[in-house]
């Protein structure tokens, strides 16, 4: 099956490198024609320094080249998925659409697989998520991810097509759990960065990770996810990685927030939008999600770090 990738960022490019190095011809579409020209001529992407793009990767700024493929990996920001699907839905019917982004649609409060199902119902929707950094994947370092697809037979086909020597995929039918785990851990990564950036220490970060995980489970289960999914790669595994490494954009954003420093506005921070969506969901569904709520308030300058810490520490004492 032919594989195309929508998105010329670090993660989409890294997936293309891994799949091409394993012998698959890959077509990567990027919106920016100059970026496409640079990748074609230099076989490099500035977002992945020191990585040579394989000859089996072709680059295009024309969507018509992308739609000739059977499997499309959507490695675009989660908040742009709806627009992409709406614009191109006439070309996406019958395709296998694999969302490789992590976030919640602020308009409909749904994850990317749910958005695919709503807008392109005759396509196969899947989610590829889990503990991974683009640089590690592009360098061929061992990485394990979750491939979630409600159609298990098609999930098995995708699992085989997208697995490589170093990229190991574990299959699930719980798309809701997989997409929520990948989205919610970004909020906890921001909280962890805030703790370290504000000088609260590793013990405070450990407490946030530990108490944040039940929040993720609580909301995910309310929305129909299986609890065991959140305990796997797409939930707990990704949570640990992104809350402890400066390779995580969300963690770095939290560091800047906690330290009161500016952050590059050109860097995509999926957890910021997700935090706002989760705060709204918590209110509508009457679910107690204190860490997610505090993160959303911090992002919008509705509170400061000292007040946020005080709000969390002044909660009633209870059993674990």
CATH code, 30: 3.40.50.720
292 and 227 belong to one structural domain: yes
Same domain for 117 and 144?
yes
Total structural domains in the chain? Answer: 2
Is 199 part of a structural domain of the chain?
yes
* Residue 112 sits in the same domain as residue 255: no
CA angle 123, 224, 84 (to 5 degrees): 35
CA distance 125 to 99: 8
Asked if residue 265 and residue 194 are part of one domain, the reply reads yes
* pLDDT-derived band at 315, boundaries 50, 70, 90: low
* Mean pLDDT, residues 81-100: 96
Helix/strand/coil for 99: strand
Residue 318 in any domain: the answer is no
Q: What is the mean pLDDT of the chain?
A: 93
Q: Considering 138, 173, 208, which residue would you say is the last residue of a domain?
A: 173
Q: Are residues 21 and 133 in the same domain?
A: yes
Distance CA 222, CA 229 (A): 13
Q: Both 163 and 219 in a single domain?
A: no
Using the 3D structure, point to which of 173, 194, 224 is the last residue of a domain. 173
List, for residues 129-183, the tens digit of each pLDDT value.
Answer: 999 999 999 999 999 999 999 999 999 999 999 999 999 999 999 999 999 999 9
Residues 193 and 269 in one domain: yes
Crossing angle for the helix pair 270-285 and 249-259, nearest 10 degrees?
80
Choosing from 2, 47, 102, 185, which is the catalytic residue? 185
- Is residue 20 domain-shared with residue 56, that is, in the same domain? yes
Domain boundaries, position 69: 3-173
Residue 320 lies in a domain: no
Distance, in Å, from the CA atom of 253 to the CA atom of 8, rounded to the nearest integer, reads 22
**Same domain for 140 and 10:** yes
Sheet of strand 26-29, all strands in order from the earlier edge strand to the far edge: 57-60, 26-29, 3-6, 71-74, 96-99, 124-129, 143-149, 167-172
The answer to the question of residue 25 being in a domain is: yes
Could you tell me if 36 and 111 lie in one domain? yes
Last-in-domain residue among 127, 157, 173: 173
pLDDT in tens, 231-249: 999 999 999 999 999 999 9
Residues 66 and 181 in one domain: no
To the query of whether residue 283 is one of the catalytic residues in this protein, the response is no
CA dist., res. 239 & res. 130, Å (int)? 9
pTM of the model: 0.91
Identify whether residues 89 and 133 lie together within a single domain: yes
Task: Please indicate, yes or no, if residue 319 is contained in any of the structural domains.
Answer: no
**Beta strands 124-129; 143-149: pairing state:** antiparallel
State the CATH number of the domain containing residue 183. 1.10.1040.10
- Render pLDDT for 1-55 as a digit per residue (tens, 0 to 9): 899 999 999 999 999 999 999 999 999 999 999 999 999 999 999 999 999 999 9
Task: Give, to the nearest 10 degrees, the angle between helix 290-299 and helix 175-197.
Answer: 60
Specify if 266 maps to a domain. Answer: yes
CA distances, 263 to each of 49, 168, 190, 267 (Å): 21, 33, 13, 8
The C-alpha atoms of residue 51 and residue 40 are separated, in whole angstroms, by 14
Specify the pLDDT at position 308.
Answer: 84
Show the DSSP H helices in the chain as ranges: 10-21, 33-42, 63-66, 81-88, 112-119, 134-138, 152-162, 175-197, 202-222, 227-230, 238-242, 249-259, 270-285, 290-299, 305-313
């Amino acid at each position: 099956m032919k594989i195309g990738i929508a998105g010329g960022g670090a993660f989409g490019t890294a997936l293309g490198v891994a799949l091409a190095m394993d012998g698959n011809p890959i077509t990567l579409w990027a919106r920016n024609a100059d970026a496409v020209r640079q990748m074609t001529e230099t076989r490099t992407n500035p977002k992945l320094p020191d990585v040579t793009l394989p000859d089996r990767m072709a680059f295009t700024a024309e969507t018509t080249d992308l739609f000739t493929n059977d499997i499309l990996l959507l490695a675009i920001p989660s908040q742009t998925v709806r627009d992409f699907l709406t614009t191109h839905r006439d070309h996406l019917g019958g395709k296998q659409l694999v969302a490789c982004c992590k976030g919640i649609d602020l308009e409909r409060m749904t994850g990317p697989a749910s958005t695919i199902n709503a807008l392109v119902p005759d396509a196969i929707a899947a989610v590829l998520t889990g503990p991974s950094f683009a640089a590690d994947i592009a360098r061929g370092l061992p990485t394990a991810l979750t491939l979630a697809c409600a159609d298990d037979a098609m999930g098995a086909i995708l699992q085989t097509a997208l697995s490589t020597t170093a990229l190991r995929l574990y299959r699930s039918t719980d798309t809701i759990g997989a997409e929520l785990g990948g989205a919610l851990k970004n909020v906890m990564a921001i909280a962890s960065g805030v703790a370290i950036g504000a000088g609260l220490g590793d013990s405070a970060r450990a407490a946030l990770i530990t108490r944040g995980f039940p929040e993720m489970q609580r909301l995910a289960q309310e929305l129909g996810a299986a609890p065991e999914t959140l305990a796997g790669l797409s939930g707990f595994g990704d949570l640990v990685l992104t809350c402890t490494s400066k390779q995580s954009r969300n963690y770095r954003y939290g560091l800047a927030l906690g330290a009161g420093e500016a952050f590059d506005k050109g860097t995509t921070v999926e957890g910021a939008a997700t935090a706002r969506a989760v705060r709204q969901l918590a209110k509508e569904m009457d679910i107690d999600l204190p860490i997610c709520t505090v993160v959303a308030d911090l992002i919008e300058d509705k509170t400061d770090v000292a007040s946020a810490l005080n709000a969390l520490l002044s909660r009633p004492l209870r059993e674990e």
